[in-house]
Structure 1
Amino acid sequence: MRLGVLDVGSNTVHLLVVDARRGGHPTPMSSTKAALRLAEAIDSSGKLTRKGADRLVATIDELAKIATSSGCAELMAFATSAVRDATNSEEVLARVAAETGVALQVLSGRDESRLTFLAVRRWYGWSAGRIINIDIGGGSLELSNGVDEEPEVALSLPLGAGRLTREWLPDDPPGRRRVAMLRDWLDTELADARKTVLAAGSPDLAVASSKTFRSLARLTGAAPSGAGPRVKRTLTANGLRQLIAFISRMTAADRAELEGVSAERAPQIVAGALVAEASMRALSLEVVDICPWALREGLILRKLDSEADGSDFVETQVGDADKVGESRAGGNRR
């Protein structure tokens, strides 16, 4: 079965086309991205602006046509933090459906964490034992812990790299004092999450997923993406600390010249590194394995499972009370 997965994130809209079957390894066939920076199109009232919505509709329409021309039997379209946080999300979803024919589903933060964990578990298998996973997006941070495919703990916190860049690090390069203040604030914000995650049990394997972690690992010496997904990649706490000292003194333009850092992610890689460092510190992790699979693969796997057993694709919808920590998303933190 050829599937299209359309991921509307805080920074980019990403179409991944895969050939997939239950019990098999999803094989990527093509990948198309558009940088929209939707999180920056949220106005002071919390609404996605008309201009932002216009760009979203046009982009989804274009990518849906690519999915059709690529022979996709089905298009799974979902949105995460930026659309989830918008106070006019229902209006935006209705417009997307009316003008493009695409039923865009908003994932709760908890589902985002659960489905990412599923992908990580399938990648490493049962022999990995208990896994703790960390995933950093543009708008949120997901933490999970479990021994099965369904994690015992699945948290989502409003600590994404893009969000914290806008709220804490507006200068380019960011000032040393602001970096120190954000470090201290992150330690406080993660205190409760630390207790919840570790209460489920100590990990046999610590894992990190997401493009942010892949970029950070590359910057600290991990193999490039061209070496293939099965090459072992890790990120150490010590390497991360040294990297932060280096990139926090650079401008975004200079960071974009570094191998493994795209132009659209260069402005927020410092905040992403600080969230990664704080998360590893909170969970007492000195090293994490970098998983090439994350949310999109989790959605594909869950889709295939649900067709086989007749279960619901995802358990929750937008507005789920289990979006742990997201109630603190609003307002600058200085």
Structure 2
Amino acid sequence: MRLGVLDVGSNTVHLLVVDAHPGARPLPAHSHKADLRLAQLLDPAGAIGPEGVDRLVTVVREAMVAAEDKGVEEVLPFATSAVREASNADAVLARVKDETGVDLRVLTGEEEARLTFLAARRWFGWSAGKLLVLDIGGGSLEIAYGMDEEPDAAASLPLGAGRLTAAWLPTDPPDPADVKALRRHVRAQIARTVGEFSRLGAPDHIVATSKTFKQLARLAGAARSADGLYVQRELKRKSLEDWVPQLAAMTTQERSELPGVSEGRAGQLLAGALVAEGAMDLFGVETLEICPWALREGVILRKLDHLPAS
């Protein structure tokens, strides 16, 4: 069957269309994406402003038209931290449903972590043993650990690259004092969580998902996206530590000219790099393995698990 997953994230609204059935890997058929930056459209009271809601309704409607054009049989719509934490979330969700017919499911941070973990587990397989999975989104950092398909521990921290950029790095290029303050903040947040995971024992593989980690790995010499899903990619902490001061000295425009860095995400790449650096250091990770599957694939896989075998 042809499924669509509609991901209303802090950075983008992304429709992923796949051909899938129980027992088989989902095969990507189409991708429709719109930059939205919901996390940066919050007003001082924490509400998504009128402009942001109007734009959200428009891009959701466009995504549903794209899904229909591609023959999607069912769309799985969900929203993450930007909508979840908005003070007017209920009103936003109601308007989206009224004007587009789409009933967005708002995932909790722990659900995000668990579904992302499921995707990583399916990608790497049972032989990978105990996995520690890290995912940096626009609004939050997800961490999950476990031996099975359901993690033994899962956490979500308010350390998304977009959120941190808006709150801590107001100038371009960033002020060195702001970068230093953000690094302290990130490390303090992650440090409070490390103990919960360390008690469970050392992982056999440490895995990273999300666009931020993929872009950082590309900077450090990993293969291009065009080389395909099945090329092994990794990110070494030493390479990341070498890149952080370089990113901190660059403007957004200069970062956008780096290999693998999209113009839309260049502004928040430094904040993402600081989160990645802090997580790798505090968890004692020398090398991360990059997983091409993440939250969207986890949502699809969970859906397939509940379908009868053909």
| Residue range with higher mean Cα deviation, 153-162 or 39-48 | 39-48
Between the aligned partners of 1:136 and 1:78, the Cα distance in structure 2 is 17
Aligned ranges 1:97-246 → 2 under 5 Å = 97-246=97-246
* Cα offsets for 1:273-315 (capped at 9, x unmatched): 0000001111110110000000000000000112349xxxxxx
Aligned ranges 1:2-17 → 2 under 5 Å = 2-17=2-17
Alignment partner, residue 88 of structure 2: 88
Q: Percent identity?
A: 55
Q: Pairwise CA RMSD of aligned residues?
A: 1.0
Between the aligned partners of 2:251 and 2:187, the Cα distance in structure 1 is 25
Between the aligned partners of 2:300 and 2:200, the Cα distance in structure 1 is 27
* Cα offsets for 1:245-283 (capped at 9, x unmatched): 111111001111111111110000000000000011111
Between the aligned partners of 2:218 and 2:61, the Cα distance in structure 1 is 33
Between the aligned partners of 1:47 and 1:178, the Cα distance in structure 2 is 25
Between the aligned partners of 1:236 and 1:306, the Cα distance in structure 2 is 37
Between the aligned partners of 1:100 and 1:281, the Cα distance in structure 2 is 44
TM-score (normalizing by structure 2): 0.98
The answer to whether residue 73 in structure 2 is matched with residue 73 in structure 1 is yes
One-letter amino acid matched to 2:117: F
One-letter amino acid matched to 1:259: P
Structure 2 regions of 5+ residues with no counterpart? none
Is this contact kept in 2: 1:46–1:86, CA < 8 A?
yes
Structure 1 regions of 5+ residues with no counterpart? 310-334
C-alpha displacement at 1:89, in angstroms?
A: 0.8
| Runs of 4+ off more than 4 Å | none
Between the aligned partners of 1:177 and 1:124, the Cα distance in structure 2 is 40
Alignment partner, residue 47 of structure 2: 47
One-letter amino acid matched to 2:216: L
Alignment partner, residue 294 of structure 1: 294
C-alpha displacement at 1:181, in angstroms?
A: 2.0
Between the aligned partners of 2:17 and 2:71, the Cα distance in structure 1 is 9
Q: Classify the secondary structure of the residue corresponding to 2:306.
A: helix
Between the aligned partners of 1:44 and 1:184, the Cα distance in structure 2 is 24
Between the aligned partners of 2:77 and 2:83, the Cα distance in structure 1 is 12
Aligned ranges 1:267-278 → 2 under 5 Å = 267-278=267-278
Q: Classify the secondary structure of the residue corresponding to 2:307.
A: helix
TM-score (normalizing by structure 1): 0.91
Alignment partner, residue 21 of structure 1: 21
Between the aligned partners of 1:71 and 1:119, the Cα distance in structure 2 is 24
| Residue range with higher mean Cα deviation, 190-199 or 122-131 | 190-199
Q: How many residues align?
A: 309
Is this contact kept in 2: 1:143–1:197, CA < 8 A?
no
